[in-house]
């Protein structure tokens, strides 16, 4: 086995002692690095330990940058990894610190590293969670057209209702424009109800009541769509193997070849 293949097994596999150790260390590094950024946002701590926190932040960023480059080196198809879910998250987790050299504030966006904690499912051999996550992803993909239509319908409703409320209430009651009315309709339809603006006329209150009742009915629609798709999914157990050729996961427990590219696992 070549050095590249050994590194691939350590970095991408978690069912070997070295691979599990690597993933555990990586998870701890992610947790500590995110904690450092959170502490730096506290003014009193930043004033007293600002330099130390920035040194730690840069140390972790360099470590993650090296890790990202090594991942690109050990995979057979780097571009596929770059545009994969984990590849995009790994890249986004290091970019903010470099952007902070020219722009103030982006370093706090490295909290996106918390998404990398999804790897804890692999480390703890929680394959059942991987299967359920994959099932939910497929259900969301299958529902995307229905949900898109649903969102368009909802946006049409709030636009009509917001315009009607603008005409009924007018600027004297806080509805100074149609966008303001649409904002109120969205807040009301979603049952959030900030209370910063409310109808005062009887007709406006009747319309508000109608929108509130519609809100309870509409909220159930996307839930029902996704639930229906989930019930249609029937996935078996998934292994923790990662294909050396395409770096994709989610293979069946007894699979010997990658179901995406056909390479031997």
In the numeric block, the tokens 């809100």 are attached to 215
Token pair of 146 as six digits = 């229905």
Which residues have C-beta within 8 Å of that of residue 117, sequence separation ≥ 6? 27, 30, 31
* CA–CA gap between residue 124 and residue 247 (Å, rounded): 20
Question: What's the pLDDT at 130?
Answer: 55
Mean pLDDT value across the chain: 80
Q: What is the mean pLDDT of residues 7-23?
A: 81
The percentage of residues in the chain with a pLDDT greater than 70, rounded to a whole number, is: 81
- Model confidence at 158, in pLDDT bands (50, 70, 90)? very high
* CA–CA gap between residue 203 and residue 186 (Å, rounded): 19
Q: What is the mean pLDDT of residues 100-105?
A: 72
- Model confidence at 264, in pLDDT bands (50, 70, 90)? confident
Helix %, strand %, coil % of the chain (to 5): 70, 0, 25
40-97 confidence digits (pLDDT tens): 888 899 899 989 988 998 999 899 899 999 999 988 888 888 888 778 888 888 888 8
Residue 107 has pLDDT above 70, yes or no: no
Output the pTM of the full model.
Answer: 0.57
164-184 confidence digits (pLDDT tens): 999 999 898 889 999 999 999
264: alpha, beta or left, given left = phi > 0 and alpha = psi -120 to 50? Answer: beta
From 25, 2, 7, select the one nearest 73 (Cα to Cα). 7
* CA–CA gap between residue 36 and residue 216 (Å, rounded): 41
173-218 confidence digits (pLDDT tens): 889 999 999 999 999 998 888 888 889 999 999 999 999 998 887 8
Question: What's the pLDDT at 249?
Answer: 67
Question: What's the pLDDT at 239?
Answer: 57
């Amino acid at each position: 086995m070549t050095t590249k293949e050994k590194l691939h097994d350590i970095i991408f596999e978690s069912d070997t002692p070295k691979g599990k150790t690597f993933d555990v260390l990586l998870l701890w590094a992610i947790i500590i690095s995110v904690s450092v950024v959170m502490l730096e946002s506290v003014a009193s701590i930043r004033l007293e330990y600002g330099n130390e926190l920035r040194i730690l932040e840069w140390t972790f960023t360099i470590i993650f940058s090296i890790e990202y480059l090594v991942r690109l080196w050990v995979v057979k198809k780097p571009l596929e990894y770059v545009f994969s879910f984990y590849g995009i998250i790994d890249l986004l987790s290091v970019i903010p610190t470099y952007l902070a050299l020219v722009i103030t504030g982006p370093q706090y966006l490295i909290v996106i590293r918390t998404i990398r904690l999804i790897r804890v499912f692999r480390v703890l051999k929680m394959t059942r969670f991987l299967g359920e996550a994959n099932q939910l992803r497929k259900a969301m993909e299958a529902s995307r057209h229905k949900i898109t239509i649903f969102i368009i319908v909802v946006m049409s409703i709030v636009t009509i209702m917001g315009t009607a409320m603008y005409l009924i209430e007018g600027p004297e009651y806080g509805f100074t424009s149609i966008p303001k009315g649409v904002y109120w309709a969205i807040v009301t339809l979603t049952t959030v109800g900030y209370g910063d603006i409310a109808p005062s006329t009887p007709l406006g209150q009747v319309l508000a009541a109608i929108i509130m009742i519609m809100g309870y009915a509409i909220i159930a629609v996307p839930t029902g769509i996704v639930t229906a798709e989930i019930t249609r999914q029937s996935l078996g157990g998934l292994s923790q193997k990662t294909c050396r050729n395409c770096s994709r996961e989610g293979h069946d427990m007894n699979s010997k070849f990658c179901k995406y590219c056909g390479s031997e696992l």
